[in-house]
Structure 1
Amino acid sequence: MITIMQTSISLLFKNARDTGLAPGETLFAAGEDVADIFMVRSGRVHLQRHTTHGAQMVLQNAGPGGVVAEASAYSSRYHCDAIAAEESAVAGLPKQRFLSALADDPALATGWSALLARSVQAARLRSEIRSLTRVADRLDAWLGEGNALPEKGRWQEVAAELGVTREALYRELSQRRTNNHSL
């Protein structure tokens, strides 16, 4: 049933305006007015904030079929930056059209509610992982959720997802290689 609901949300974006994004390109920035709701067609878009210490914190890692910054549907301004993590294509639907579709279709609204619930669960898991003190424990928990390390040039994305500095992650990965610990 969840797949059917997710499919109906995807269908809502069928005729939406497509935008291509290069790696590192900004889709929207914190503080901008919310005019559109975006769904990732291909690639990955990170919803991120910067801590007071300047570290980048990934709050959402949206892949194909994922809606970026779901809560923005109920906000006047974006609260985070959305940045393409890789070559990406997103579909943008005017916010009012999106909300009208939800109001007019109870099944679609139910699907949207399920998507929001899964988003809350993912945020709680991310918070749980970040509450762990040691980088090794955070990495183990993240890997234990079925994630895999990307190629070496993208490890800083994992550091942002774990809420650690890239240097701390690199030290942990180096120690694991030295100790022949599986990754």
Structure 2
Amino acid sequence: MENGATLALHTARAGDTFAEAAVSADAYHCDAVADVRSELVAFPIQHLRERLSSDPQTALSFAMFMASQVRTLRARLELRNIRSAKERLLAWLELNGAGVPLSVPTDQPWTEVAADIGLTREALYRALADLSRAGAIRRENGRTILLREQ
């Protein structure tokens, strides 16, 4: 930022990409900071552009991957518009759930979920407790199971 402060534009997770805008820019300034041990793959921009131009299958795969990331980002933004912490958490569980009844593996720390959906960890833990007490969810065997009708 102009005043020297930093602004986080994206938090990348395993399998994510970042700085994709460099594909279409002559100059793109982006820094990345890894908060955890990470392994990265970097592509020289000219090489990537040439590959996308010459290989339709690679271009299509790249476009599909980018579309998936856009869908995920839009869903995260929409979740943040939900005012109630409990409803926001339920919506996140519904988006990430699978099976009947919907269930979500709890392999991601709840503090990361809180950050992803724009809640403090305290608000998220209160929402989890409230939803459990109300019978809307059940947490067992490393999964969170939605018990309300979908």
The TM-score range, normalised by the shorter chain, is 0.5 to 0.7
Question: Where do 5+ consecutive residues of structure 2 fail to align?
Answer: 97-103, 139-143, 145-150
Q: What is the match of residue 163 of structure 1?
A: 118
1-structure distance, mates of 2:119, 2:22:
26
Larger strand fraction of residues? 1
Equivalence map 1:8-87=2 (5 Å): 49=8, 59=10, 61-64=12-15, 66-75=16-25, 76-78=28-30, 81=32, 83-84=34-35, 87=37
Q: Please tell me whether residue 91 in structure 1 is matched to residue 36 in structure 2.
A: no
Instruction: Name the larger-Rg structure.
Output: 2
Identity %: 29
Unmatched tracts of structure 1, length 5 or more: 1-29, 32-47, 51-58
Task: Work out whether 1:124 is the aligned partner of 2:83.
Answer: no
For normalisation by structure 2, the TM-score amounts to 0.65
Structure 1 runs of 4+ aligned residues shifted over 4 Å read none
Q: CA RMSD in A?
A: 2.9
The whole-number CA distance in structure 1 between the counterparts of 2:57 and 2:51 is: 10
Q: Is the 8 A contact 2:86 2:131 kept in 1?
A: no
Change in Cα spacing, 1:156 to 1:90, as seen in structure 2 (3 Å) is same
Higher relative contact order (CA 8 A, sep 6+): 1
